[in-house]
Chains A and B, each alone.
Chain A
Amino acid sequence: MTMRIFIPRDAAAVAVGADEVATAFEQVAAIRGVPVEIVRTGSRGLCWLEPMVEVATPAGRIAYGPVSVEDVASVVESMASNGPHALRLGVADEIPWLKRQTRLTFARCGVIDPRSLDDYRAHGGYKGLERALSLGSDAILNEVTASGLRGRGGAGFPTGIKWKTVAQAKADRKFIVCNADEGDSGTFADRMIMEGDPFLVIEGMTIAGITVGATKGYIYIRSEYPHAVEAMIAAIAAARRGGYLGDKIGGSTTGFDMEVRVGAGAYVCGEETSLLESLEGRRGIVRAKPPLPAHHGLFGKPTVINNVLSFAAIPFILAEGAKAYADFGMGRSRGTMPIQLAGNIRQGGLFETAFGVTLGELVDDIGGGTLTGRPVRAVQVGGPLGAYFPRALFDTPFDYEAFAARDGLIGHGGIVVFDDSVDMRKQARFAMEFCAIESCGKCTPCRIGSTRGVETIEKIIRGERVHENLALVEDLCNTMKFGSLCALGGFTPYPVLSALKHFREDFAPAPTTLQAAE
């Protein structure tokens, strides 16, 4: 009997040897005369176990990991004999780290072949679109609104309201734009879903298209994600062949088609108006709002612009109904959030769960603390523009409002863990430096403020007039926060001020010649 072996083609797995492992499986199987079929999947998101390899058995898919090329021969032996192995993790779905998740968006990721439209359909794909086509625009809008889905890119704006605005706008053309410029360090959920379940993103965008009356979509993917670009291009072509993109989608009379556009290494293009400028072929300079993209978006036309994860949440909501989604979560944060555990962490990866889980549970319990084994000192939540949280705030529940109440943000759901060797002055300086490198230059607080911020923090690090310069940094942060045009300059103060507030001891004045002379 042919053994079916599943090996991820996800970039994170490939970066730690998945391709070499796949080749080794083919070679070992050929030598031993064991017929095998190797299916390249996405990743299940247990990154510390990558490359994680699975084999189909009557009891379910048995996982092994992390598998290196040297392990392959003995793993094949274990697979063939259903025998024990040091790397054997048991039935994949029963691994506690996976089992305790609520995978609504990532249900198929790591399970199916992302190149196969048939596999997608066999696992419930395109049910959302089918129902959407039977419902019509108004009913879809009601479902999306009732689900409570909020923009997963970070801003948390209600998706239903955004879509309704575009649906009501009158124009000769409208657009659907997917923001796949996932530049935040510590985040990789967009990349994983594009590589592991690309049809899901296409389905979500298609539903948006029929809802608001748009026939053209763009997915803007950052150039740092070549695997995701390749996966999306292949999936779009397959969807077209299968009649799910084009003039008559899914056998209906409605048309929708889309294409991939690749960014060029500008972080600020993750800001929606900057992204639209870039898509139009210009410098990624932020636009002042209003007008909102919903009224005046791509090429001046009404445009739905949403994050990958927002579109990826839509098919479930349509297929299973708004209530099934809204039943999860807390307060005004409904549904699930794919949370990404990263940095110096023992069990890093993608953990999709209902809103409400605390930061402490995520870092200590699920993440298992640091990889170095040293105590966790700080975690940055929400990317380079997110606040640093100390252990004292680990009771904060993962929820848009709860994080805002503690001067932080959940952003795109990335959590970067630092151990006690971290120097928070360096992190504060880096936040300003990153803003200076990536500023689009349109508004003064961001363009100039970030550079002055770097200089002033460097003075603090050198011990020059520490008290005065700390006050100056705080003042500068407030100017940037309230005076910047977009979130880059406006949110850079979050990591800086949180470092100052929660880790003040790192900024304590050291004796200097200047102060000694006073």
Chain B
Amino acid sequence: MTALYEPWNETRGAEIIAEHASQEGTTLVILHALQEAFGYVPEAAIPMVAQALNLSRAEVHGVFTFYHDFRHKPAGRHVLKLCRAEACQAAGGDALAARAEAKLGVSLGNTTADDRVTLEPIYCLGLCATAPSAMLDGRLIGRLDETRIDALVAEAQR
């Protein structure tokens, strides 16, 4: 399952912002909505959010950059997140992460040169009793082993 995103469009961006602008403390809500629509938060949207919420550009930029979730450019076609927290480490997650890095030829936090796969660390999916775990395009996978991680990587590369 590949998420399909709209190309950035100012009118559509303004609509999304307007839809959520009246809620209290809505900056994160809007940034999430923009990313859900476009796959990332386009730089052009930042001053629009600032204006709608009567904030400075710097304030909105500050919020945008503080949170790990928000992207300043689109991710690869598939996003493979590997849990790197302690429970998954205890269950052999380090070796599996290294294996995925080697297979994809990129380190965690990067996208393959062909833009197919973004490989990211995640700190806990709450699947700590069925560790190690991963998330491929929003789908959860537990009890990872070498066979399963290879299959996931292959699926992501397709």
- Interface residues of chain A, those whose CB is within 8 Å of chain B, are 11-12, 14-16, 47-48, 50, 182-188, 190-191, 223-227, 261-267, 278-285, 299, 340-345, 348-350, 371, 380, 384, 414, 416-419, 422, 427, 430, 434, 437-438, 440
Q: How far is the CA of A437 from the CA of B70 in the complex (A)?
A: 15
Residues of B within 8 A of A414 (CB): 87, 128
| Closest beta carbon of chain B to A169's beta carbon, Å | 19
Residues of B within 8 A of A279 (CB): 25
| Closest beta carbon of chain B to A252's beta carbon, Å | 25
Given contacts A343-B131, A349-B129, contact A185 B88 (CB under 8 A): yes
Stretch in B3-11, B117-125, B150-158 touching the partner = B117-125
Interface residues of B in 24-41 (CB under 8 A from A): 24-29, 31-32
Residues of B within 8 A of A285 (CB): 66
In the bound complex, do residue B89 and residue A50 qualify as a contact, i.e. CB atoms below 8 Å apart? no
Q: Chain A: which residue is nearest B49 at the CB level?
A: A281
In the bound complex, do residue A341 and residue B129 qualify as a contact, i.e. CB atoms below 8 Å apart? yes
Interface bits B53-84 vs A (CB < 8 Å: 1, else 0): 10000010011001111100000000000000
Interface centre among A191, A283, A427 (most CB of B within 10 A): A283
| Closest beta carbon of chain A to B60's beta carbon, Å | 9
Q: How far is the CA of A266 from the CA of B70 in the complex (A)?
A: 11
| Closest beta carbon of chain A to B79's beta carbon, Å | 13
B140 on the A face (CB < 8 A): yes
In the bound complex, do residue A224 and residue B66 qualify as a contact, i.e. CB atoms below 8 Å apart? no
B90 on the A face (CB < 8 A): yes
> Nearest 3 pairs between A and B by C-beta?
A348-B129, A185-B85, A281-B27
Interface centre among A12, A263, A414 (most CB of B within 10 A): A12
Residues of A within 8 A of B62 (CB): 282-283
Q: How far is the CA of A437 from the CA of B131 in the complex (A)?
A: 22
Q: How far is the CA of A12 from the CA of B142 in the complex (A)?
A: 7
Residues of B within 8 A of A47 (CB): 129-130
B91 on the A face (CB < 8 A): yes
B45 on the A face (CB < 8 A): no
Interface residues of B in 93-115 (CB under 8 A from A): none
In the bound complex, do residue A283 and residue B66 qualify as a contact, i.e. CB atoms below 8 Å apart? yes
In the bound complex, do residue B129 and residue A188 qualify as a contact, i.e. CB atoms below 8 Å apart? yes
In the bound complex, do residue B130 and residue A184 qualify as a contact, i.e. CB atoms below 8 Å apart? no
Residues of B within 8 A of A225 (CB): 125-126
Q: How far is the CA of A261 from the CA of B67 in the complex (A)?
A: 14
In the bound complex, do residue B124 and residue A282 qualify as a contact, i.e. CB atoms below 8 Å apart? no
Residues of B within 8 A of A191 (CB): 126
In the bound complex, do residue B126 and residue A261 qualify as a contact, i.e. CB atoms below 8 Å apart? no
Choose one: B85, B125, B129; the contact of A48 (CB below 8 Å): B129
In the bound complex, do residue A264 and residue B70 qualify as a contact, i.e. CB atoms below 8 Å apart? yes
In the bound complex, do residue A343 and residue B63 qualify as a contact, i.e. CB atoms below 8 Å apart? no
Could you list 10 examples of A-B contacts with CB < 8 Å?
A11-B127, A15-B125, A183-B123, A183-B124, A224-B124, A226-B138, A343-B90, A343-B91, A384-B85, A430-B86
Residues of A within 8 A of B27 (CB): 281-282
| Closest beta carbon of chain B to A30's beta carbon, Å | 25
Q: How far is the CA of A186 from the CA of B25 in the complex (A)?
A: 31
Choose one: B69, B125, B128, B143; the contact of A343 (CB below 8 Å): B128
For the A-B complex with A12-B142, A186-B86 known, give 9 more contacts whose Cβ atoms are closer than 8 Å.
A14-B140, A187-B124, A224-B124, A224-B126, A282-B25, A282-B63, A343-B86, A350-B129, A427-B89
In the bound complex, do residue A416 and residue B90 qualify as a contact, i.e. CB atoms below 8 Å apart? yes
Q: Chain A: which residue is nearest B26 at the CB level?
A: A281
In the bound complex, do residue B133 and residue A186 qualify as a contact, i.e. CB atoms below 8 Å apart? no
B141 on the A face (CB < 8 A): yes
Q: How far is the CA of A278 from the CA of B24 in the complex (A)?
A: 12
Residues of B within 8 A of A12 (CB): 126-127, 129-130, 142
In the bound complex, do residue A430 and residue B127 qualify as a contact, i.e. CB atoms below 8 Å apart? no
In the bound complex, do residue A264 and residue B32 qualify as a contact, i.e. CB atoms below 8 Å apart? yes
Q: How far is the CA of A444 from the CA of B85 in the complex (A)?
A: 24
In the bound complex, do residue B124 and residue A265 qualify as a contact, i.e. CB atoms below 8 Å apart? no
Given contacts A266-B66, A267-B123, A343-B91, contact A188 B28 (CB under 8 A): no
Choose one: A183, A340, A422; the contact of B129 (CB below 8 Å): A340
Choose one: A11, A264, A341, A349; the contact of B28 (CB below 8 Å): A264
Q: How far is the CA of A50 from the CA of B140 in the complex (A)?
A: 14
Q: Chain A: which residue is nearest B120 at the CB level?
A: A265
Choose one: B68, B90, B126; the contact of A344 (CB below 8 Å): B90
In the bound complex, do residue A15 and residue B91 qualify as a contact, i.e. CB atoms below 8 Å apart? no
Q: Chain B: which residue is nearest A216 at the CB level?
A: B24
Residues of B within 8 A of A266 (CB): 66-68
Interface centre among B85, B123, B124 (most CB of A within 10 A): B124
Choose one: B25, B69, B89, B126; the contact of A11 (CB below 8 Å): B126
Given contacts A12-B130, A282-B63, A283-B66, contact A184 B124 (CB under 8 A): yes
Choose one: A14, A284, A344, A430; the contact of B91 (CB below 8 Å): A344
Q: Chain B: which residue is nearest A383 at the CB level?
A: B86
Given contacts A16-B142, A224-B125, A384-B85, contact A342 B131 (CB under 8 A): yes
In the bound complex, do residue A15 and residue B142 qualify as a contact, i.e. CB atoms below 8 Å apart? yes
| Closest beta carbon of chain A to B35's beta carbon, Å | 9
| Closest beta carbon of chain B to A429's beta carbon, Å | 11
Residues of B within 8 A of A345 (CB): 129
In the bound complex, do residue A427 and residue B29 qualify as a contact, i.e. CB atoms below 8 Å apart? no
Choose one: B24, B69, B126; the contact of A265 (CB below 8 Å): B69
Interface centre among B24, B25, B26, B69 (most CB of A within 10 A): B25
In the bound complex, do residue B90 and residue A422 qualify as a contact, i.e. CB atoms below 8 Å apart? yes
| Closest beta carbon of chain A to B90's beta carbon, Å | 3
Given contacts A224-B122, A280-B25, contact A418 B90 (CB under 8 A): yes
Choose one: A14, A190, A416; the contact of B128 (CB below 8 Å): A416
